[in-house]
Chains A and B, each alone.
Chain A
Amino acid sequence: MDALALLCTLHADGPTSLKRLRTGGCGTISALVERAPEDVAEMLEIERAVARRLLREARILSERIGVGSLDVEEAPAALGRNGARGSEAEGADAIPSVAPAPQTSELDAVDRALVARVSLPQPMEEIRASEPIPAPVELPPVPEPIAAEPEPVAVPETPVEPEPVAELDQHDQQEQHEVVEAPSRPGARRAGTLPGLDEGMVEDLERLEISTFEELGRADSLTLTRGLGITFAQARRLRFLARRAAEEQDLERWTPDAPALEPVQVAVAPPLPVESVDVVEPVEPVEPAAPAAAVAAELEPDPEQGVRVDPSEIAARPTFAEQFARAAAERRATETTHPGAGTVLGWNFEIPRPEPDALPFASISPDAHVRPSEGAGDAHGAPAEAPPQPSFPEDDIAGPFARS
């Protein structure tokens, strides 16, 4: 099986794409890798982003199976890495190891992206130089040390040297200055800032008018799939990584503006003299750190995560008995009664009594309740005798079904 055929089967339209590539002059995968995405897109009649993705997969596949100057059969080193060719030397009975092979291509891609991320072509100093440096943030004064409860044990005779507060502050200020000086929003416009984000994808993101991690995190996965030429799962992963990077940026941006975090280093009270050890004065409990509240106030919840529910809107679900009673009450309220017509009440329904004019047979009259078969004659055709007429009072048109 040709490596180009394998590529077309894995990432293109199989024999159709293979035929077009060969017709277009790409007989091998090495020749395909050297082609421009525009040429491949025109050759296969696909979008440019999809062509770029195909080329990316072609590079990965060619690196993986060792296609280059060597044939597939002559590349044991590259294949031995995945364990497939390594079993070849053991004979035909050995089952090729398929387990190590999966994820190597994607892991390699991730690893390469991570390496590119670590070794950024543009160092941090250049980033600082290219972007305006904001003014250093005025740090609030260090609060007074809170007196802590002394421990009634082995108090050293010599007073403990106080902590170098000034030096610590200076060091922290340097760190905070570094954080402040770092670009607050590097965005998604640089390759390698996210795993798997290469130059081509950055260009496509610019075409899609996506420049920050927030916008990338909010983007539609299907739009990213079509625009970047990646799979839907990769688009979703990219969005997740962008959201996480945005959250990290938010935390970094908040850090210098949170001077209240400084008192976390609760200053220890100066050592008491030995004579005052036995005197234990009640100390007020330490209040929860104010910065935590500030953090909670500043960190707005992600609107996409969860639904805010007002507890007052949640009402108790009515029971079945309540629903039944309510339905019965509504039915009683909407029930229309016809005062002129009598009804026969059943268990939970009523049978409307027909009007005299609506009776099906002419022989039936309100005055004479006679079955039709009784007047139709017997089986031998002899005329039946007239049945005895029941006698009802004239005003009793309802007969025996009248409501009492």
Chain B
Amino acid sequence: MDDTTSTKFPVYAFVNQKGGCGKTTTAVHLAGALAARGDRVLLVDLDPQAHATLGLGCAPESPTVTDVLFGTASIAEAVAPASGGITLLPAEPRLAEFEEASGREIHPEQRLLRALAADDLAFDHVLIDCPPRADGVLCANALYASTYTFLVVETGAFALQGALQALKVLDAVAENQRRTFDVRTIGTMFDRRTKFARELLVAMHARFGDSMFDTVIRSSVRLREAPAVGVPIQELDPTCRAAADFAALADEVVALSPRVAAAADDSAAPDELVPEPPPANGVHAARRSPSGERTAARS
């Protein structure tokens, strides 16, 4: 694998060290919102719990992302159509075996990037739902393949602590991979009726600053009902406030994407149209814009 291995589309990894903060929910419904705009969206379920797979009404069948990571299948063979116009790379509980077997592999953290760099894939957005453990090899695969890292922070008691732990892990991974991460923060499960959530959101605004999305996902009963029905929120209730939140978040994410933004702005330079290729280990540091470097993660 050479240093220039990259994907032709933006890849977003949803990470947090803390579980239950809305990573899967955000990934699934943001994928639905992007698909509702008419974009081609691939959702990669990298969580052995396979909640994204189950939440879209799919039963994990072989081949899955486990086979992709083991190299026995390609993504084109493993993907399955899901509800909401989403293309899903499903997961299964056997995915946890990859964590154990990764010790015997060479560069196991590059497997997903190598699979996504195949020429037969044509997507506008790829979203990766990571497992809660941010320092595992599964999350390392997601981080290595990601163009943007979305730090999902719940407006709850341990949210900021989990986010800061995840930032520590990102620091370690960035040092190990000799690259930087463009970290963006998404606030989730916000209930403005509680004073604690309001104060925590102000603290998050002060902590993360401009790296935080303008849209905060508010808590909604519809978001709890959607996995039971097996559809994204845009199909369950397009008029609910959660659908409006994810639609606004999709607008911001699309504005992030360099290719789409460049297509909208013809004045963009041609070399900026393709996402920055992450470098291999020990070769060179990634060339990043100063505004998107670690300042985003530390801001």
A residues at B contact (CB < 8 Å): 1-3, 5-6, 9-11, 13-16, 18-19, 61, 64-65, 72-73, 79, 82, 84-85, 88, 92-93, 95-96, 98, 101-102
Contact of B167 among A16, A64, A92, A98 (CB under 8 A): A92
Q: Is B262's beta carbon under 8 Å from chain A?
A: no
Given contacts A10-B192, A92-B164, A93-B168, contact A72 B209 (CB under 8 A): yes
CB contacts (< 8 Å) of B202 on chain A: these are 6, 10, 61, 64-65, 82, 84, 101
Q: Which of A15, A64, A65, A96 is most buried by chain B, counting CB atoms within 10 A of its CB?
A: A15
In the complex the two chains form, is B248's CB within 8 Å of A73's CB?
A: no
Q: Is B62's beta carbon under 8 Å from chain A?
A: no
Q: Identify which of B22-30, B66-74, B121-129, B211-219 touches chain A.
A: B211-219
Given contacts A1-B210, A1-B214, A5-B215, contact A98 B199 (CB under 8 A): yes
Q: Is B195's beta carbon under 8 Å from chain A?
A: yes
Nearest chain B CB to A61 CB, angstrom units? 8
The dominant DSSP class at the B interface is helix
CB contacts (< 8 Å) of B203 on chain A: these are 82, 84, 96, 98, 101
In the complex the two chains form, is A72's CB within 8 Å of B205's CB?
A: yes
Q: What class of interface size applies to chain B in its complex with A?
A: 35 or more
In the complex the two chains form, is B299's CB within 8 Å of A73's CB?
A: yes
Subset of 17 A-B contacts with CB under 8 Å: A1-B210, A6-B201, A9-B201, A9-B216, A14-B244, A14-B248, A15-B215, A16-B241, A65-B202, A65-B206, A72-B206, A79-B206, A84-B206, A88-B207, A92-B168, A93-B168, A96-B206
In the complex the two chains form, is A15's CB within 8 Å of B206's CB?
A: no
In the complex the two chains form, is B206's CB within 8 Å of A14's CB?
A: no
Q: In the complex, A5→B215 CA distance in Å?
A: 7
Nearest chain B CB to A74 CB, angstrom units? 10
In the complex the two chains form, is B160's CB within 8 Å of A98's CB?
A: yes
Q: Is B198's beta carbon under 8 Å from chain A?
A: yes
In the complex the two chains form, is A14's CB within 8 Å of B218's CB?
A: yes
Q: In the complex, A13→B248 CA distance in Å?
A: 12
Q: In the complex, A19→B209 CA distance in Å?
A: 20
CB contacts (< 8 Å) of B248 on chain A: these are 14-15, 18-19
CB contacts (< 8 Å) of B206 on chain A: these are 65, 72, 79, 82, 84-85, 96
CB contacts (< 8 Å) of B245 on chain A: these are 14-15
In the complex the two chains form, is B209's CB within 8 Å of A1's CB?
A: yes
In the complex the two chains form, is A102's CB within 8 Å of B205's CB?
A: no
CB contacts (< 8 Å) of B98 on chain A: these are none
